[in-house]
Amino acid sequence: MYQAQLYVNKVFQGAPISPYLYGSFVEHMGRVVYSGIYEPGHPTADEDGFRTDVLDLVRQMGVTCVRYPGGNFVSNYHWQDGVGPKENRPRRREIAWRSIETNEFGTDEFMKWAQKAGVMPIMAVNHGTGGTEDALTLAEYCNLPAGTYYSDLRVQNGHAEPYAVPVWCIGNEMDGIWQIGHKTAEDYGKLVAQTGHALKSLDPSIKTVVCGSSSAEMRSYTDWERIVLEYGYEFTDYLSLHHYYGGQEKGIEQFLAQSLDLEEYIRTIIGVCDAVRAKKHIQRRINICFDEWGVWEIPGDAVAHQVEQQQWSIAPAFSEQIYTMEDALLFAGMLMTFVKFSERVKIACQSLLTNISAAIMTERCGEAWVQPIYYPFSYMARYGHGLLMNSVLHVPSYHTDNSMEVPYLDHVAIWNEKQKEIVIFAVNRRPEDASVSISLQGFVPSAIIEHVVLCHNDPKMTNAKNHKEIIPVESDEHELSDEKLTWTAQPYSWSMIRIQIE
């Protein structure tokens, strides 16, 4: 057992936590849409073909916003294919994922699903084969009142009121050579200035998300952001970042340390954004929209091989990763990282919602079940609100192969003044118990409201066979006296403690 001392002082309060850190992502990829969220004829399907078992799980998960329709898919997507009478919608060869897109599910279906799920829609527009005109026509269709061609088309399709989509992504991963319509930073930056200006002229309420680096491993990393923002800073509200982590073969300690790499990624890009802001003498800061993130253990070449084998089928099953307890710990650490950077990270979309790198898994015509990563997300989405506390942790650390110093215990502390509670989320990265002492300075704690632990004696265990194998359990391994709380963090575990404050 090792010792950890955490200090939470009421005076040292950080930024408010955006509710949209708890977002997700739906792409026309594999079984994410078809047999994921949408499956007419399923025993639980409603009148719109939406799986109500999945809708229930999405609501319970606490998802606050969902990005749609891609992803790589969007860069060759013609949004008008997916509206109007379904019998008139064309089938297309979807070249990003080598499948047949029936267009049975499109913009109007997504908006209706989002309303039922209780999530804010985030719309991505085609900037691969499309451009400014595609963005404008879709924005008119979604956001403007009747009276012009595309807004009247929406009304004709049975939707009288505008959808008022607040956030618009100008393309997807445009720095990636794999992307249909890949751009140089200069060309994309010019397009950002054109499209951002046009969207905001059409609807001044729109907030734009501009593509940053697809990962920190890109050869253009940091140069891409600098060049794009030098062209388009004035029309950018959020810079989009993406990152997935794998590498279990390196060992669990190296694997769990990757959340620190994520911290450095965010810190670096914030620095680039602020450098361009200073150069352009602009006061307004750009925030971060981390609209694709997750643990993706399936190698990229394996995914590419699976895609090649699809032979243009409809909603093929591929890249359906089954998550371990170990994966859930890194996943939790990544989500906690966004909370740590809540001053600048305002939107985050876990990727993807169903079946591919997903929290929710479904069987065609069968049941839906949740993976271990579902639980840290759902608890943080429910209780991770309020102010981030600038807490201080004294704990031993270990070193990775690249000499990164990694604390044994990762944590965030949140002060929810409205609910009068301090909430601690923590990941124990070690195979031994941690005796954690928390000093709550300036607060008057009165009780432990809830203490939940997610762990398993086998970090490689999954929920695939027994869907309840890894689930959160209540713990009583804590003691509260005066301003001090002591508790035991189990080996390789994620924990949440809610402390009532008088």
Helix/strand/coil (H/E/C) assignment for every residue in 131-167: CHHHHHHHHHHHHCCCCCHHHHHHHHCCCCCCCCCCE
Residue with structure tokens 């399709």?
157
Virtual CA dihedral for 243, 263, 166, 22, nearest 10 degrees?
Answer: 80
Spot the catalytic one: 292, 297, 326, 421. Answer: 292
∠385-388-391 over CA atoms, to 5°?
A: 140
Average pLDDT across the chain, whole number: 96
Coil vs helix vs strand at 100: strand
- The string of DSSP letters for 325-353 reads HHHHHHHHHHHHHHHHTTTTEEEEEES-S
DSSP 367: -
Virtual CA dihedral for 156, 158, 161, 163, nearest 10 degrees?
Answer: -100
Output the pLDDT for position 484: 92
Question: Domain 18-383 belongs to what topology?
Answer: TIM Barrel (3.20.20)
Output the pLDDT for position 308: 73
Q: Could you tell me which residues come within 8 angstroms of residue 156 by beta carbon, excluding any fewer than 6 positions away?
A: none
| Nearest residue to 320 via CA among 348, 352, 366 | 352
∠341-216-289 over CA atoms, to 5°?
A: 40
Asked about 173 being catalytic, the answer comes back as: yes
Spot the catalytic one: 101, 140, 173, 297. Answer: 173
Residues of the chain within CATH 2.60.40.1180 domain(s) are 2-12+387-501
Residue type, 78: H
Asked about 474 being catalytic, the answer comes back as: no
| Nearest residue to 112 via CA among 144, 82, 81, 71 | 82
Whole-angstrom distance, CA of residue 188 vs CA of residue 239? 13
Output the pLDDT for position 368: 98
HSE, CB side, 13 Å, CA atoms: give it for residue 447.
3
Whole-angstrom distance, CA of residue 268 vs CA of residue 51? 41
**What is the domain class of 2-12+387-501 according to CATH?**
mainly beta
Q: Could you tell me which residues come within 8 angstroms of residue 262 by beta carbon, excluding any fewer than 6 positions away?
A: 243, 245, 334, 337
**pTM beyond 0.85:** yes
Output the pLDDT for position 305: 66
Output the pLDDT for position 307: 73
Inter-CA distances, 339 with 11, 73, 127, 322, 412, Å: 19, 29, 30, 26, 7
Q: How many CB atoms lie within 10 A of CB 204?
A: 7
What helix, strand, coil percent values describe the chain, rounded to 5? 30, 30, 40
Output the pLDDT for position 32: 98
Residues of the chain within CATH 3.20.20.80 domain(s) are 18-383
Residue type, 320: E
Residue type, 243: H
Which structure tokens are listed for 96?
């990003």
Q: Which residues of the chain have pLDDT under 50?
A: none
Q: How many CB atoms lie within 10 A of CB 344?
A: 19
- Per residue in 451-484, is it b (16+ CB within 10 Å) or e — as a string? bbbbbbeebebbbeeeeeebebeebeebebeeee
152 and 146 in contact (C-beta within 8 Å)? yes
